[in-house]
Amino acid sequence: MFERIFPLLLIAALGLAGCGEAGVTGEGSEGSERVGRTEPGESIAGGFSQVVGASGEALDMERVSVRDFGSLDDGRQVSLYRLGNAGGNSVEIMDLGAAIVSLRMADRDGALADIVTGFDHPQAYADGNGYMGVVVGRYANRIAGGRFTLDGETYQLAVNSGSNAIHGGVRGFDKQLWRVEAETREDRASLELSLRSPHGEEGYPGTLEVTVRYTLTDSDRLIIDYRASTDRATIVNLTNHAYFNLEGHGAGNILDHELQLNADTYTPIDAQSIPTGEIAPVAGTPLDFRQPKAIGRDIESPFEQIQRGSGFDHNFVINQAQPGALTRAATVYSPRSGRVMHVHTDQPGVQLYTGNFLGGTVPGKEAVQYQTRGAFCLETQHFPDSPNKPQFPSTVLRPGELYRTTTIFSFEVRP
């Protein structure tokens, strides 16, 4: 299903080195290394551990490593994987929700900082606190009434946002443990996570086979490749829900970040944040980010759309030369840190969310108390409620078809 670019090097949980054990034995092979897929819920002892390739060689721990991240209240074990590059930047991803837990990038002075929000323990993610860093699905964003009709049959989904469905339902992909494989190459390291979503889960039709592949390159690009296939007609819309603060995850609000969106139009929302079906121009509105603009400049505007979202929480229609073309969707710049993030995607839309409800009582990583508008999201996607809006690009996936999409977050610094 997943079209691999280069030979696979598989995870082995050898984190017991230094604890008096030589490794983990494989089934039916006394004393041999277990080289293969890390299954959901497997416990890995100790700190970050080496990953072993398919031929038995230990991969460079600066490229890929793994450690135990703790257990959930239901007893499931969660593992945390680290991908690093030659410049010392890194990303940490856990198997619960295929979530980005940390992303460390250097600023203009070379100082590293973690620029995504998150938690120090997996249970906070399982409790659904803001979908931080997770992959959301089977359908990202909202579906009105939690209901849609496909091929003449109406499906009722689990509703978890008032009377609507959002981000896959009560037990979406963000609450599940994914299988993990890893590979390295001379200039990059990759982690591939896979999941099977059975027919009827959260009300969705069809058994869906999903893979999400994260790749960190030496050129400071974080590439996310999504793939899915189904055994019967269904709908699919996958994205990552990372919250960014380019000054550091605990640095305060992001109102001075300068944002540029490659979008002439957006999809207006009603009072429940469901698209009205209109595609409207951004010109002359506070939603016009065609030229770089501080996020905070118009965030308190009396404009009705801003009031409905309590700030920015809108889907923008990306200007694409042709549907499916990999296109720059956004650029964000932090004047204080000098960090710049570019977002490229082949998806038709991107949801800008400015952490309007981020403030709360759950402490984040390093005991940081995240504040309202303390981070922003740029969720590449198909449009919200597309299954009920035939004028929007289709999200239907049928047997024999391959859902595939790529989003790239690339980083640089300005003096």
Which residues are known catalytic residues?
241, 379
Written as one letter, the residue type at 100 is: I
Terminal CA-CA length for the chain: 43
Beta bridge partners of 100: 93
- 374, with CB counted inside 10 A (0-12, 13-18, 19+), is buried
Q: What is the DSSP letter of 279?
A: -
DSSP per position, 328-360: EEEEEE-TTT-EEEEEEESSSEEEEE--TT---
Backbone angles phi, psi at 282, to 5 degrees: -85, -20
Beta bridge partners of 212: 193, 226
Short-list 269, 78, 64, CA closest to 161: 269
Q: What is the number of alpha carbons within 13 Å of residue 353 lying toward its C-beta? A: 21
* Tokens (6 digits) for 243: 């919250």
Cα Rg of the chain, angstroms:
21
Question: What is the rounded distance in angstroms from the CA atom of residue 190 to the CA atom of residue 64?
Answer: 8
Going by their DSSP bridges, the two strands 327-333 and 280-281 should be labelled as unpaired
Residues 6+ apart with CB under 8 A from 167: 131, 136, 137, 139, 140, 141, 160, 174, 241
